[in-house]
Chains A and B, each alone.
Chain A
């Protein structure tokens, strides 16, 4: 039997790791997208879409709402959607979606007593951490970016003329691409944070509440502390500057060329810390 396995040729290390990450993605995406726990992220993704449907209905059906809401005005449209994305889609929907998905990447499998199947494979634990992280990013990124795109397009429903001038003939499409990118990057960033949280603590509620608060007060923190967050880098990518209020401390603005690599660097550092934690995992499952 052992002779037979020696006859099987495995690819060189880098290609082997790629194959293994692909195999982990296949197993994880099935769980993340089709299992019953996926219901949480689908419900969260429905929230901005349903809320936007309500907004559109009000604009269409309530007298004078059109002018009050400014649905025909490109400037008001931009301001409204920027606030919508940052205050709701990213800071609430994607944030809690990432809490649900990423804290359970390892913790969920420990609770279900199935993590050992991975740990008994000829697989570096760092590769396992990367594979699971990418599966989480693909899951949340796809679902929540989909919600961002749909809610953005719904906003044009009350005003077909604005759709023509702003979306087809103006900056609307590039703004949509920017918001989609922001949502993806939010999933990347919050995913890295909450994968680490899920590996460090059993109950993520308190850390999640702390991070939620920290992200919420980011604009009011000193410039140095603002950098220790995800939302700080995302603000810099907004196609329409977000009004953060009179009490906000204005730090030095950062360009997209700094924000994206900065965020990726933060994610890489967090992922590295997660990989170290994964290396130290012991399987106990509470029975011996």
Chain B
């Protein structure tokens, strides 16, 4: 799909150095609407990228534009952008409601509008009951949610979320992930950073993989995986007679390895040519009369892709 510049977040050859230390280098990206995840270990440049998008940092070189807006004009820019940072800190002495409402008033909203928007945002993150308690008495998960409420309260078009699932219990994580999906369905850009890769898999339309300040891959995760030729694709086939399937596959050049699954009801196959493998599989199934329960890629996820590209394991589930 062709996007107009005013629909994109554009990094044009952006570098950021902290003195001698590299933050990110030569980033050239265009991010369309939907959920995009920034993936990488601590120190890879995720937060730097997010801070550059929101003007909390100025690039050493290059330019960043969000929806064609310039961060130098904050009145326009920050009406369209919401950023839930990773910093677990708040102004002293405020309740959740005062916090969200107070900063909506800084946006320029009148008291009544600010109160209505604050109530709606607080309800959206499931914090209505606790909103009149002091933030200092909140649990980590509640603080994370009230921060999220503050970031979405002014109804931005771009939501930037730095490690938004940190500190949330499984139930709250599921609710917040649903919220992200709703926001993306409403046409928002949702940019999420995470080092918990299985969660990225659950929610992302596309990923940007970062390592030591460089973008090492970007795009739809399946597309990225397909481009990694150095590692054979792994495919898990569950069927009634795995041994018969294995003997038929051994004769093929592109099949590198076949392993019987632990429960003896499937095979984990490594192949250099996934397309040829799928065509071959159809033929074998018909010829041997096999009953196939499922066929699924076993390493077409962020975790596997990241470890292939970087050579280290990301943080698993």
Contact = CB atoms under 8 A, between A and B. Distances in A.
A8 B87 contact: no
9 contacts: A2-B188, A23-B102, A27-B91, A116-B87, A118-B103, A121-B103, A125-B74, A284-B18, A285-B87
Interface of B: 18, 23, 43, 45, 47-48, 51, 54-58, 74-83, 85, 87, 89-94, 102-103, 105-110, 113, 150, 154-157, 183, 186-188
Contacts of A117: 91, 103, 150
Contact of A122 (B18, B83, B107): B107
Interface stretch (A29-37, A48-56, A59-67, A196-204): A29-37
Contact of A30 (B55, B85, B93): B93
B149 to A, nearest CB: 13
Contact of A120 (B54, B76, B93, B113): B54
Q: Which of B91, B105, B106, B150 has the most CB of A within 10 A?
A: B106
Contacts of A24: 106
A288 B74 contact: no
B23 A123 contact: no
Contact of B58 (A30, A124, A282): A282
A112 interface: yes
A11 B57 contact: no
A215 B282 CA distance: 91
Nearest to B85: A116
Contacts of B113: 8
Contacts of A123: 74-75, 78, 106-107
Contacts of B188: 1-2
A174 interface: no
Contact of A4 (B77, B78, B155): B155
B107 A288 contact: no
The 10 closest A-B pairs by CB, nearest first: A23-B105, A113-B89, A122-B78, A2-B157, A283-B56, A5-B155, A23-B106, A1-B155, A121-B106, A113-B87
Nearest to B47: A288
Interface in A14-59: 16, 19-20, 22-24, 26-27, 30-31, 34-35
Q: Which of A5, A22, A24, A112 has the most CB of B within 10 A?
A: A5
B79 A19 contact: no
A284 B57 contact: yes
A124 B157 contact: no
Contacts of A112: 89, 91-92
A123 B90 CA distance: 19
Contacts of B75: 13, 16, 122-124
B18 A27 contact: no
Given A5-B79, A20-B108, A121-B106, 8 more contacts: A1-B188, A20-B107, A112-B91, A114-B90, A122-B79, A283-B56, A284-B57, A288-B47
A8 B80 CA distance: 13
Given A122-B78, A282-B57, A20 B92 contact: no
Interface in A82-123: 109, 112-114, 116-123
A2 B155 contact: yes
Nearest to A13: B75
B87 A1 contact: no
A124 B74 contact: yes
A100 to B, nearest CB: 16
A10 interface: yes
Given A1-B155, A116-B56, A116-B87, A27 B102 contact: yes
A2 B77 CA distance: 13
B194 to A, nearest CB: 15
Nearest to A27: B102
Contacts of A20: 105-108
Contacts of B83: 116, 120
A122 B108 contact: yes
A116 B23 CA distance: 19
Contact of B108 (A16, A30, A31, A282): A16
A136 B79 CA distance: 28
A35 B93 contact: yes
Q: Which of A10, A11, A288 has the most CB of B within 10 A?
A: A288
A196 to B, nearest CB: 21
Nearest to B183: A1
A23 B75 CA distance: 15
Contacts of B48: 288
Contact of B74 (A1, A34, A121): A121
